[in-house]
Copies of this chain bind each other. A is one copy, B any other.
Amino acid sequence: MIEGSIGTKLASPPEAEGIAEGIRRPTIEDVARYAGVSRGTVSRVLNGGQHVHPATMEKVLHAVDELGYSVNQAARNLAAGRTGSVAFVISERHTHLFGDPNFGLFVRVFSRELRRDGRHLLVTTAADYKEEHFLADYLVAGHVDGAIFGLPRAGEKLFERLLRVGLPVVTLGRPLGYEEQLSWVAVDDKAGASKAVERLLSRGRRQIATITGPLNTSSGRERLEGYLAALGIDRASAHMAEGDWTLESGHRAARKLLKDYPDLDGLFVASDLMAMGAVTALREAGRGVPDDIAVVGFDDSVAARMVDPPLTTIHQPFERLALEAVRILYELMANRASGPYHVILPTRLVQRRSA
């Protein structure tokens, strides 16, 4: 497919490049010669400048600048046995993450933080079982120095393999079944849910129901717990309906609740998206929000702000979550034997019009 020598073609345009270096990219060798030192010294400077005389350092840096040198990652990786990149793994089932600007925040924060020391972010997705397998191959093959998993799912085999080779891994959200073994960062779902319910109580609501997330997920469960705790009741006496995080499921669940508990006046929904579906259902049933039924969501997604009425919701500190994830990953990459680390961050009530 590829014709000729790529190396030469690359520089084929005739324009003089300003740098009197001829065709090829300058190497560490060129820098060394230009600065009048050895390759080893240049390498040292490039890697932090430990044990290098300030004056020498100066010379080398100057040469780097002058020659427009930039390190060849492939060579560095090969020599150092590190890859210089970190994977951000998104499973396809959580495609909705993409629809969430917060996902963009994650990518941005990760990129920025990794860039500080020249690492790259590799965003990868695993659509199905086969791809997940492929991904695992890839990860355990040592192509990355570490991985961050966005919303861990029940990919047991995957985690199993990663644990075996000791690859540094951090998950965003608790990895059910691997909470003890893997490092993760998460928000305090239970406390957040309680805040939501307390808001409803403080608005004088007494018939408070909840639409939960899937009860086989950590967040789904914890948020239900928070609801129960705030009301001081147990699951048996809860007014609840289970959703699956989607808009439609919120709509469906709200209709069910309306039927089961006609005197409903407050509703805590475990995600903004479901809350939006619920609000639509309530309206269709002729109930005004917040007047007849006050609603509180969870996530503080951008949509929550745009919808009518704007949703009162629980804010998740996504940026801090991302930062903590990176921090932990660095910790693990520096010392694979350390950890696992667990971080739980607090949430915040955002008051808008729906409650």
Contacts and interface: CB of A to CB of B under 8 A. Distances in A.
Interface of A: 1-3, 6-7, 9-13, 15, 17, 25, 70, 72-75, 77-78, 81-83, 85, 92, 95-101, 103-105, 107-108, 111-112, 115, 120-125, 127, 134, 137-138, 141-143, 164-166, 247, 276, 280, 302-303, 306-308, 333-337
A83 B74 contact: yes
B78 A6 contact: no
Nearest to A111: B125
Contact of A142 (B25, B142, B276): B25
A103 to B, nearest CB: 6
Contacts of A9: 166, 336-337
Nearest to A247: B306
B308 A280 contact: yes
B107 A123 contact: yes
A143 B124 CA distance: 18
A70 B111 CA distance: 27
13 contacts: A10-B166, A11-B166, A12-B337, A73-B74, A97-B104, A98-B108, A107-B123, A112-B125, A112-B127, A120-B122, A121-B122, A121-B123, A303-B303
A222 to B, nearest CB: 26
Contacts of A2: 333-335
Given A9-B337, A73-B143, A306-B307, 6 more contacts: A10-B166, A70-B141, A75-B78, A111-B124, A112-B127, A247-B306
B95 A98 contact: no
Nearest to A302: B99
Contacts of A108: 92, 95, 98, 125, 127
A1 B335 CA distance: 8
A280 B353 CA distance: 15
Contacts of A123: 107, 111, 121-123
Given A12-B166, A104-B103, A164-B15, A72 B82 contact: no
Contact of A101 (B7, B13, B98): B98
Contact of A78 (B11, B25, B78): B78
